[in-house]
């Protein structure tokens, strides 16, 4: 890898306190360095905006459910063929595919890089699907990344909680993270999926018993949040709360946050969990209550899960949500019961601007962004493809940066449920470029505990994006002039030219070896998979170091 100087751009590197200063960024051997010889190749970035590569901490691009969605939606593929790029690098075979809402693997990598994103995490992989997820990530070029493994409705875990064996539950989580090659623990509708499998069709309450009164959503959340902290994981428990998408679920969200008081915890796609009801039972925004709670509690973080008006694909381990959505919309669906571990459903969806609930969801996401007091803790996501495609991030950035444009859009959507929404009353805030750099790269990198990502300080991974400024922020962020990934120039003069393999980011906490005999016994009793076949092997990159607290 040759040294490189990105010269004279306006640099936005919030982690290092740099907010639009004109300076050079120097790169050698895949890392940011203080300087390179004046003879080193240079990119002229004068008049351009330079940021660290984007970090998407919550999307769905490489899991069993993503593959189910790909199979369910052949029409999406047929409508969006994606030609192979013309690469300069003769050692890499350029690949065609399809784009649309659930792109094929290679196209996913190319398109993320084209937007200036260089790190991407799939937020929900069932342990049994881990091999498939790694295979998909192997075929998703350019971007570094990994996935969060699903726990929270898993039979073995629930049995440990029932037996009062929370320490063994923690050892199990440690074993599972390493066995699946995951980066973090994800809880989706903790306990609620299992209750649904057992026939419940009601809302899930935090203290609802799953058979035994010792096993409740609260107990599951406490066990997993404590495990993530005790194991020294770089990212805390990543929580998709109970009752996603239901009116008045903000009460569940706030109760969950209170249940984890004082612990580090990340609450994902907050928008889908910030609904209230008004006196007459109609839906209303509860964004203000939720975001004010987050603002006041520094141990909590979140991503928004913005709904973008237009087509989407909902895909989630939260099978009961998909069941309700399928029933109410009549759209086709697929649902997979991943035996002892979790559920998984897929329903195509459209957020129509004249649909009152869709307009409310859209408005709630924007309220969360605009009322957040700390961009480092509330970051950008659309829960791709649930709220909309990652390809809509530039349009979302424009909504945040451009009040006049936003106010025009508000006039177009169905106003019926927007009464009482702060957005409808007008919010003047406009995100600055520095704040956009926080919510799309520096913030997510920090929340993920990725010390070498999301910033341009000496020693950081040389992941750099160069944009051409434009008064229209959507236009600005939809294309990149240059993207450097790990020191390789992948986008040159706006064209994708190189597509090196990305690096796998995963953890391997130590655990008490005595626990494996018990897990193996459980597998032999109940699972269709042999224990020895379960762990993934041969991950191509070393694991990410844990925090010192993890060295037990």
At closest approach, how far in Å is the CB of 193 from Zn ion?
14
Please answer whether residues 99 and 70 qualify as being in contact, where contact means their C-beta atoms are separated by less than 8 angstroms: no
Residue from 383, 435, 461, 463 touching Zn ion (CB under 5 A): that is 383
Stretch near Zn ion under the rule CB under 5 A, chosen from 34-42, 249-257, 378-386, 426-434: 378-386
Taking CB under 5 A as the binding criterion, the range among 4-12, 381-389, 432-440, 498-506 that sits at the site for Zn ion is: 381-389
- Interface segment toward Zn ion; rule CB under 5 A; list 32-40, 111-119, 375-383, 456-464: 375-383
Q: Which stretch binds Zn ion (CB under 5 A): 13-21, 380-388, 419-427, 439-447?
A: 380-388
Peptide bond into 455 cis (omega under 30): no
Choice between 82 and 358, CB closer to Zn ion: 358
| Binding segment (CB under 5 A) for Zn ion, from list 82-90, 201-209, 364-372, 379-387 | 379-387
Q: How far is the CB of 60 from Zn ion (least distance, A)?
A: 6
- Least distance from C-beta 30 to Zn ion, angstroms? 30
194 binds Zn ion (CB under 5 A): no
Q: Where are the beta strands (DSSP E) in 206-361?
A: 238-240, 265-267, 275-277, 283-285, 300-303, 310-316, 334-338, 342-351
Output 333 or 523, the one with its CB closest to Zn ion: 333
Looking at the Cβ atoms of 33 and 324, the one nearer to Zn ion is 324
Give the residue with the Cβ less far from Zn ion, 240 or 498.
240
- Taking the complex as a whole, how short is the minimal distance between the CB of residue 328 and Zn ion, in angstroms? 20
* Cα–Cα distance list, 291 to 225, 286, 287, 337 (Å): 21, 9, 6, 34
Based on CB atoms, which residue is closest to Zn ion, 367 or 383? Answer: 383
State the Cα–Cα distance between residues 118 and 444, nearest whole angstrom: 12
Token pair recorded at residue 29: 């051997």
Nearer to Zn ion, 59 or 544 (CB): 59
Shortest Å distance, C-beta 127 to Zn ion: 17
Is 185 buried (19+), middle (13-18) or exposed (0-12) by CB count in 10 A?
A: buried
How near is the Cβ of 223 to Zn ion at its closest, in Å? 22
Query: At its nearest, how many Å lie between Zn ion and the CB of residue 302?
Result: 12
Give the chain's largest Cα–Cα span.
71
Of the pair 387, 394, the CB lying nearest Zn ion is at 387
Closest distance between Zn ion and the C-beta of residue 123, in Å?
5
Q: How far is the CB of 306 from Zn ion (least distance, A)?
A: 12
CB of 178 to Zn ion, least distance (A): 23
Residue 59 CB, nearest approach to Zn ion (Å): 7
Residues 122-151 that bind Zn ion (CB under 5 A): 123
CB closer to Zn ion out of 28 and 303: 303
* Three-state DSSP class for residue 450: coil
Q: Is 321 in the site for Zn ion (CB under 5 A)?
A: no
Nearer to Zn ion, 28 or 383 (CB): 383
Minimal distance in Å, beta carbon 313 to Zn ion?
A: 11
* Residue whose CB is less far from Zn ion, 144 or 383: 383
Q: Which residues contact 13 (CB under 8 A, 6 or more apart)?
A: 51, 52, 437, 442, 455, 456, 457
> Closest residue (Cβ) to Zn ion?
383
- Distance between CA atoms of 461 and 457, rounded to whole angstroms? 9
Instruction: Tell me the window of 109-117, 218-226, 377-385, 537-545 that interacts with Zn ion (CB under 5 A).
Output: 377-385
Tell me how crowded residue 408 is: count the other CB atoms within 10 A of its CB: 10
Q: How far apart are CA 225 and CA 382, in angstroms?
A: 24
Tokens of 347: 């329903």
Between 26 and 319, name the residue whose CB sits nearer to Zn ion: 319
> 274 CB contacts (<8 Å, ≥6 apart)?
249, 250, 253, 285, 286, 287, 289, 290, 291, 364, 368
∠ CA(352), CA(358), CA(361), 5° rounding? 145
CB 148 within 8 A of CB 504: no
Report how many residues bind Zn ion under the rule CB under 5 A. 2
Residue 310: φ, ψ to 5°:
135, -170
Q: Which two tokens stand for residue 15?
A: 């982690």
Q: Which is nearer to Zn ion, 76 or 383 (CB)?
A: 383
Asked if 363 contacts 418 with a C-beta cutoff of 8 angstroms, the reply is yes
Q: For residue 385, is the peptide bond before it cis, meaning its omega torsion is within 30 degrees of 0?
A: yes
Burial class (CB in 10 A: 0-12, 13-18, 19+), 435: buried
Residue closer to Zn ion, measured from CB, 266 or 284: 266
What does the alpha-carbon distance between residue 347 and residue 89 come to, in Å, rounded to a whole number? 39
Query: Phi, psi at residue 74, to the nearest 5°?
Result: -60, -30
**Binding string, residues 33-62; x marks residues near Zn ion by CB under 5 A:** ------------------------------
Query: By C-beta, is 60 or 503 nearer to Zn ion?
Result: 60
x/- map, 96-125, Zn ion, by CB under 5 A: ---------------------------x--
- In the complex, minimum distance from the CB of residue 462 to Zn ion, in angstroms, rounded to a whole number: 29
**Nearest by Cα to 150 from 181, 188, 112:** 188
Q: How far is the CB of 474 from Zn ion (least distance, A)?
A: 24
- From the list 170-178, 350-358, 383-391, 401-409, the region that binds Zn ion by CB under 5 A is 383-391
Distance of CA 140 to the CA centre of its chain: 16
Radius of gyration of the chain (CA): 22
Contact positions vs Zn ion (CB under 5 A): 123, 383
């Amino acid at each position: 890898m040759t040294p490189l100087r990105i010269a004279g751009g306006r640099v936005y590197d919030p982690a290092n306190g740099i907010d639009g200063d004109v300076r050079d960024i120097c790169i050698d051997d895949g890392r940011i360095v203080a300087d390179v010889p004046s003879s080193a190749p240079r990119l002229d970035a004068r008049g351009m905006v330079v940021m660290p590569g984007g970090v998407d901490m919550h999307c769905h691009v490489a899991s069993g459910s993503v593959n189910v969605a790909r199979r369910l939606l052949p029409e999406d593929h047929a409508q969006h063929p994606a030609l192979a790029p013309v690469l300069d690098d003769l050692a890499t075979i350029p690949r065609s595919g399809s784009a649309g809402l659930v792109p094929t693997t290679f196209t996913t990598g190319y398109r993320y890089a084209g937007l200036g994103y260089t790190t991407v995490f799939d937020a929900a992989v069932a342990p049994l699907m881990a091999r498939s997820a790694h295979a998909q990530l192997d075929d998703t070029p350019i971007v570094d990344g990994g996935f969060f493994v699903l726990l929270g409705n898993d039979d073995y875990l629930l049995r440990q909680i029932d037996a009062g064996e929370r320490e063994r539950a923690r050892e199990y989580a440690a074993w599972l993270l390493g066995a699946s090659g995951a980066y973090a623990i994800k809880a989706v509708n903790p306990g609620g999926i299992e209750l649904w499998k057992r026939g419940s069709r009601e809302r899930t309450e935090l203290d609802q018993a799953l058979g035994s009164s010792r096993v409740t959503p609260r107990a599951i959340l406490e066990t997993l949040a404590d495990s993530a902290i005790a194991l020294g994981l770089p990212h805390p428990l990543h929580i998709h709360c109970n009752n996603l998408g239901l009116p008045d679920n903000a009460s569940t969200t706030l109760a969950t946050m209170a249940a984890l008081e004082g612990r580090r915890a990340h609450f994902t796609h907050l928008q889908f969990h910030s609904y209230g009801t008004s006196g007459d039972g109609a839906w209303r925004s509860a964004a203000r209550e939720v975001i004010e709670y987050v603002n006041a509690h520094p141990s909590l973080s979140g991503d928004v899960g913005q709904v973008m008006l237009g087509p989407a694909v909902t895909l989630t381990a939260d099978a009961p949500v998909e069941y309700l959505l399928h029933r109410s919309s009549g759209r086709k669906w697929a649902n997979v019961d991943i035996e002892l571990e979790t559920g998984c459903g897929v329903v195509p969806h459209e957020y129509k601007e004249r649909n009152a609930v869709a307009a409310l969801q859209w408005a709630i996401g924007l309220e969360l962004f605009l009322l957040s007091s700390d961009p480092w803790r509330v970051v950008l996501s659309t829960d791709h493809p649930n709220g909309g495609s990652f390809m809509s991030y530039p349009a979302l950035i424009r909504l945040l940066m451009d009040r006049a444009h936003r106010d025009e859009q508000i006039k177009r959507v169905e106003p019926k449920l927007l009464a009482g929404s702060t957005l409808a009353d007008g919010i003047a805030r406009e995100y600055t470029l520095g704040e956009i750099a926080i919510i799309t790269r520096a913030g997510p990198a920090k929340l993920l505990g990725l010390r070498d990502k999301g910033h341009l300080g000496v020693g950081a991974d040389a992941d750099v994006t160069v944009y051409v400024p434009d008064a229209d922020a959507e236009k600005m962020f939809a294309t990149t002039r240059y993207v450097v990934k790990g020191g390789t120039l992948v986008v040159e003069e706006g064209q994708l030219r190189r597509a090196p393999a990305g690096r796998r980011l995963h953890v391997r906490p130590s655990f008490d070896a005595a626990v494996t005999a018990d897990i193996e016994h459980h597998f032999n009793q109940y699972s269709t998979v042999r224990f020895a076949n379960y762990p993934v092997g041969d991950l191509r990159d070393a694991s990410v170091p844990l925090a010192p607290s993890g060295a037990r």
